Amino acid sequence: MYEPTFSSVKQHPLPAWYDDAKFGIFIHWGLYSVPAFAPRKPMDLQSLLSGDFGGSPYAEWYQNNLRINGSAVQQYHAEKYGASFPYESFAAAFNAQSRGWNPEAWADAFQRARARYVVLVTKHHDGFLMWPSQHLNPRCPNYHAARDIVGELQRSVTARGLKMGYYYSSALDWTFTPQSIQNIADLMTSGPADRVYRDYVEQHWKELIDRYDAALLWSDIGYPPKYNLAELFAYFYNRRSDGVINDRWYQTPIGLRNPIGKFVLKQAAKWMEKQGRTNMPKVPHCDYVTTEYSGHDQATPFKWEACRGIGNSFGYNQFETADDYQAAPALIRSLIDIVSKNGNLLLNVGPRADGSLPEAQIAALDGMGQWLAINGEAIYGTRPWTRFKDDGANGAEVRYTINDNTLYVTAIALPADRVVALPAVPLKPGGQVQLLGRAQPIEWANTAGKLIVHLPPLANDDIPVLKIELERP
């Protein structure tokens, strides 16, 4: 049993299922899916650190940006719905359109993509609940989905053998706060901090743990101050010893929630921008750390997870086109790179208000599933090797993963002559170099300090994987 102390919960080991899974699905679906609008532009976290929150391409931030005078969202909203139309009124349209949602279709799509876990947004910063909670919002008592979206999806997903986790906006809830967030200092200090909200958040997390059997807790932005988070973590681990907790639980001290504190945070954000750092502040305990639309330059000794949308937004943006979406080959290369550096990819889908997934998102998921069906053994259950990459003089670029004594070499950039030349690897005596998905042997040699592999004819967007049995140390 874990005790409600950080010294106790820090003893929790990273569960093997999460380290082995490598690929999960994130889902942002809510009231923001009704207007489904944000400026069309690439995601740039540096611009957010610089204070450009109003111009964010994140459609799920619609309500916040509606509060910023002169923002693109405010202009769009006035033209489309009228300046006096309240954001909360989107609830009626969402509940009407989501009646036709089919959780089985989602679960099938995620299974086809060969994802191993799913993380559903149960409450984003707008405060709308995606389940009929027993703990209603004291400001907006009926502010929740008409359907039990959390429960229905949990049953569909777990029936297919996938783990189910939940995102919950712990630090921010715009039904409790009227001000807009326009910079990093606002982000870290504008969340409600009173006892009513702290109790509200705790009750919801425990409901997600007990009622919906959470396997993963994905908090965002932070957590209200003056609460012993070790108590919640111990509560979770004592119910799910294989449970996993992310790193976004930072509790901004009360002493920083004033003009001087905000100035300090703004200066810190400027320093982070100059350093190219975008990670969340460190917390006393987590099972893994997160990045967003970014990653790590090198393999890390700690477990991490990169989250991103298929497009430039997490919530559905109806104005994004095919040019804004990553196709399967680009996403597969990202997955390979992340896994080679000890990470997982949490890839987001942003459904329409009626629950349907945009065709470009489905195509991306299907393409990933097709590649993983052939090459998944180079991903699932693997670990970083002694080096994570090599570049060939002829344009080849590879990433390495290893499982026991089997080394996988994945070419994320193909050489024009289809000859991969790499530093020699310690092959098992009599061992072979194989190309996953092909039964016929390939031509190769491991001599004179080089491993030379002649690939068969391949399409330019192919991502082949070499399988090599290494000599046991």
- Same domain as 397, residue 365: no
- pLDDT value of residue 54: 85
Residue for token digits 């996953």?
Answer: 436
- Encode the chain (473 residues) as per-residue pLDDT tens digits: 999 999 999 999 999 999 999 999 999 999 999 999 999 988 776 676 666 788 899 999 999 999 999 999 999 999 999 999 999 999 999 999 999 999 999 999 999 999 999 999 999 999 999 999 999 999 999 999 999 999 999 999 999 999 999 999 999 999 999 999 998 888 989 999 999 999 999 999 999 999 999 999 999 999 999 999 999 999 999 999 999 999 999 999 988 877 777 777 777 766 665 555 556 678 999 999 999 999 999 999 999 999 999 999 999 999 999 999 999 999 999 999 999 999 999 999 999 999 999 999 999 999 999 999 999 999 999 999 999 999 977 889 999 999 999 999 999 999 989 999 999 899 999 889 999 998 888 999 988 889 999 999 998 889 999 999 998 87
Q: In a 10 Å sphere around its CB, with 0-12 CB exposed, 13-18 middle and 19+ buried, how is residue 322 labelled?
A: exposed
Domain span at residue 95 reads: 6-378
Backbone dihedral region of 104: left (phi > 0), alpha (psi from -120 to 50 degrees) or beta?
A: alpha
Residue pair 268/260 in contact (Cβ under 8 Å)? The answer is no
Could you tell me which of 57, 54, 44 has the C-alpha nearest to residue 74? 54
Determine the pLDDT at residue 462.
Answer: 94
Given 359, 378, 397, the domain boundary residue is 378
Domain count, the chain: 2
Residues 240 and 208 in one domain: yes
> How many residues comprise the chain?
473
Cα 151 to Cα 17: distance, rounded to the nearest angstrom? 22
- The structure tokens listed for 225 are 């101050």
Q: Which of 378, 402, 418 is the last residue of a domain?
A: 378
Query: In this structure, is residue 383 part of a structural domain?
Result: no
Q: The whole model's pTM is what? A: 0.96
pLDDT at site 258: 78
Residue pair 16/289 in contact by the 8 Å Cβ criterion: no
Do 341 and 394 lie in a common domain? Answer: no
- Among the candidates 354, 378, 402, a domain finishes at 378
Q: What is the pLDDT of residue 9?
A: 98
Lookup: tokens for 33: 């899916």
Does residue 1 fall inside a structural domain?
no
- Residue 320 is predicted with a pLDDT of 97
